[in-house]
Structures are given as C-alpha cells and as structure tokens.
Amino acid sequence: MGLGKKLGAEFLGTLWLVLGGCGSAVLAANFGGDGNPLGIGFVGVALAFGLTVLTGAYAFGHISGGHFNPAVSFGLWAGGRFPAKELVPYIIAQTVGAIVAGFILYHIASGKPGFAIDPDAAGGFASNGYGARSPGGYSLGAAFLCEVVLTAFFLIVINGATSKRAPAGFAPIAIGLALTLIHLISIPVTNTSVNPARSTGVALFAGSGATSQLWLFWVAPIIGGLIGGWIYKALDDNKN
C-alpha cells in the first residue's frame, strides 16, 4: 500500500475519532442540562470513543494499520511493528485530521444559540487539562502519571491484539473496548487524552487555557506509548 493512501486513511480515521468521541462530549454528554435523562454522560462519551476506534479500525486498519494517534505510532515503532521513516508523515496526517475534526465540531456546536467556550473551564470543548482545568481538579503530577500509565497499557493491548498469534479479525473490538475502559477511568482526571492529535484538534478551538497545557498531552502519551511498546516487545520475545 502506498504511503499516500496510508496517510489518507490516517487523516480520515483520526478525523472520525475526534468527531465521534469529542463530538459526543461537546454535543451530547450534558444535553439539556444537569439531570436531563437524554444526556449520555461520562459512560456515553467513553463508549463513543471506543466505538470510533472500533469502526475506524475496521474501515481503515487494512490500509494504514489504523493508528489514528501519534502515541500509537510511537508505541508500534517501539514494539518493532512500524518503520521509523513513516513516523513523521503519520503524525502530521493524524494531527491535521484531528484539527479538521475540531474545526467541523466547532462550527456545528456554534450553531446553537448561546454557544460559548470558557477558555478556563475544566474540559471546555472536550479539551484536556490538569489542575483547575481537570474535571476533578487533579494535579499536574496525577494527570501526567495517569496519561503515561493508561497509554502504556493501551499499547500493550494494541500490540497483543494485533499479533499474528492473536485471533484474527477481533483486534478492533479489543482495542475499542480498551479505549472505552481508559475513558471510564480517566475522564475525571484529564478528560482523557492518551492521544496527542485528539488533544490538539480541540485545544486549538478551546482557548488559551487548553493550549497552554497541551504540552502534557503530547509528552505523557508518547512516553506511555513507548513504554507500552517496549514492554510488549520484551514479553513477546520479538515474535510479532
């Protein structure tokens, strides 16, 4: 498969992930206000992120591998599954796809009367944050540790589910469920990133508060992805 087609698949897959996952948070999580039974809440948002990865992996995985996440690309490289020469092109395609999704989502959300984004609000426009911008007020250290550990386990699941010795055809289900679980754990802590592109795509539209903290949601997931890739490679004895 040519690199151009792979990058197109990564662009579209990441766009789908951010539009579906962050879109559910912005448009549906608290629909109608607190206590409204129509709002999908944390559980619904967690499931939406899992479903976007599951469906995106089935749609595009056979073309590009279905990374949709710079931390995944780094983790698969660390695990010996992905060539270093394609890291930068993949990350650019993923980030651009996420920004386009953020642009689309912003223009959908702004079509509602009274729409406004508070740049200092916790989780505003589905952005990630720590301290005052954490949904639960968690510290920078707690947010960093959470993102590193959960991204590492995400890469362990991805490497294991896509191994040649794993049951064929089921990898997207395991990966989607893993991302759902990760969100159920960490939405209160950081609003869940584990994906630098996802964080960037909405932070650019969420104001200076989100962009000032964006560094953590690049550094921590990439560190976690590398750790997860290396751990799985050591456990699997290089038998991919």
pLDDT tens column, 8-64: 999 999 999 999 999 999 999 887 666 667 788 899 999 999 999 999 999 999 999
pLDDT (0 to 100) of residue 30: 81
Q: Which domain holds residue 215?
A: 3-236
Residues in the chain: 240
Give me the chain's average pLDDT, please: 94
pLDDT above 90 (res 169): no
Per-residue CA distances from 60 to 21, 54, 65, 81, 120 (Å): 17, 10, 7, 17, 36
pLDDT (0 to 100) of residue 38: 76
Cβ neighbors of 141 (< 8 A, separation 6 or more) are none
Q: What is the DSSP letter of 133?
A: G
What CATH number did the domain enclosing 176 receive?
Answer: 1.20.1080.10
Query: How many domains does the structure of the chain reveal?
Result: 1
pLDDT (0 to 100) of residue 64: 96
pLDDT (0 to 100) of residue 167: 83
The alpha-helical segments, DSSP class H, found in 135-170 are 140-161
pLDDT (0 to 100) of residue 190: 98
Secondary structure (3-state) at 48: helix
The pLDDT of 206-220, averaged and rounded, is: 96
Nearest-angstrom CA–CA distance, 154 and 65: 15
pLDDT (tens digit per residue) in 102-152:
999 999 999 998 888 888 888 899 999 999 999 999 999 999 999 999 999
Strand residues in the chain grouped as ranges (E): none
The pLDDT of 72-92, averaged and rounded, is: 96
* Structure token pair of residue 54: 């599951």
| 64-73, 96-105, 163-172, 217-226: least confident range | 163-172
pLDDT (0 to 100) of residue 118: 84
Identify which has the larger pLDDT, 183 or 37: 183
Q: What is the DSSP letter of 52?
A: H
Cβ neighbors of 23 (< 8 A, separation 6 or more) are 48, 101, 105, 108
pLDDT (0 to 100) of residue 12: 98
